[in-house]
Amino acid sequence: MLKDITIGQYFPGDNLIHRLDPRFKIVMTLLYIIMLFMGDELYSLSFGIVYCIAALVLSKIPVKLFGKSIKPLLPILIMTAILDIIFIREGTVYFQAGFFKLTEDGVFTAVKMIVRIIFLIIGSMLLTYTTSPIQLTDAIERLLSPLKRLHFPVHSFAMMMTIALRFIPTLMIETDKIIAAQKARGAGFDSSKLRDKAKALVPVLIPLFVSAFRRAEELATAMECRCYRGDIGRTKMKSMNAGICDIVSLTITFIMFFAAATVAVLF
């Protein structure tokens, strides 16, 4: 049950996409997302799709993995499509029954929305699959470092994110264990009544909170023992250096971005 969630799961590999500087990857992903949502027509959308598929092929990550991540979002996708079809009433009418009108524009918008959301997910998944959480937060810290001038605690923010990501799998394993232990004492998790379901959560959530606080305290002590003082005088073991590959990739992304923008404006 809990094993199937893949938030920020890193899929180790050694290829162009994996090796790219994470800072560049984040910027490229942002450009890509804007690219997806820029134009209203299929022409501009196709740039994003081509870009994403190219990156997907280069990353050598099995497509099956993405399918698994999209599956839980299917209800949202279907809902979006249904709403689009019901509320967009312009264009050629295919079919009409009372209030309900199936129009060309409605179908078209629904398809575009689904494609967009799917590619949005694939694109952001690609970032987390090819970049380890540590690299990611490190890159975010670097990218946000100009905000330090405004006294924004960039380092603490990045550290908090790193720790949160680090503890997701730990807490999931813990939850599984607690559920098993309470089941052994006859806790019912299979009742279909909402009231019973909510009641069954208490024996799981309380131990989970207690253990999360315990871990937080232990971690804080451990960090203090190692003289952690935030980013004062802290150096990085792995410094990030942009190479020729990074610059070329970013340039290509920018060219695609402006091409998509031009097409979006022109058509």
Partner 1 sequence: MIILRAEELTYQYSTGTPFEKTAIDHVNLEIEEGAFVGVIGSTGSGKSTLMQHFNGLLKPSSGHIYLNGQDIWADKNKLRDVRFRVGLVFQYPEYQLFEENVYRDIAFGPSNMGLNDAEIKLRVYEAAAFTGLTEEQLFQSPFALSGGQKRRAAIAGVMAMKPEVLILDEPTAGLDPMGREEILAEIKKYHQKTGCTVMLVSHSMEDVSRYTDKLLVMDKGKIFCYADTNEVFKCADELARIGLAVPEITRICNSLRKKGIPLDESIYTVDEAVRQIVHYYKSKSGGDV
Per the listing, tokens 């984040």 go with: 26
Provide the token pair at 235: 């150096």
Task: Give me the residues that bind partner 1 (CB under 8 A), please.
Answer: 174, 177-178, 180-188, 202-203, 206-207, 210-211
Q: Please, which residue, 205 or 220, has the CB nearer to partner 1?
A: 205
Q: Please, which residue, 180 or 219, has the CB nearer to partner 1?
A: 180
| Minimum separation from the CB atom of position 67 to partner 1 (A) | 15
| Minimum separation from the CB atom of position 13 to partner 1 (A) | 14
| Minimum separation from the CB atom of position 90 to partner 1 (A) | 48
Angstrom distance (rounded) from CA 18 to CA 11: 9
Q: Please, which residue, 112 or 215, has the CB nearer to partner 1?
A: 215
Q: Please, which residue, 34 or 180, has the CB nearer to partner 1?
A: 180
Q: Please, which residue, 34 or 181, has the CB nearer to partner 1?
A: 181
Nearest residue to 101 (alpha-carbon basis) of 119, 116, 87: 87
Q: Please, which residue, 157 or 167, has the CB nearer to partner 1?
A: 167
Asked if residues 178 and 207 have their Cβ atoms less than 8 Å apart, the reply is yes
| Minimum separation from the CB atom of position 188 to partner 1 (A) | 7
| Minimum separation from the CB atom of position 195 to partner 1 (A) | 16
| Minimum separation from the CB atom of position 184 to partner 1 (A) | 4
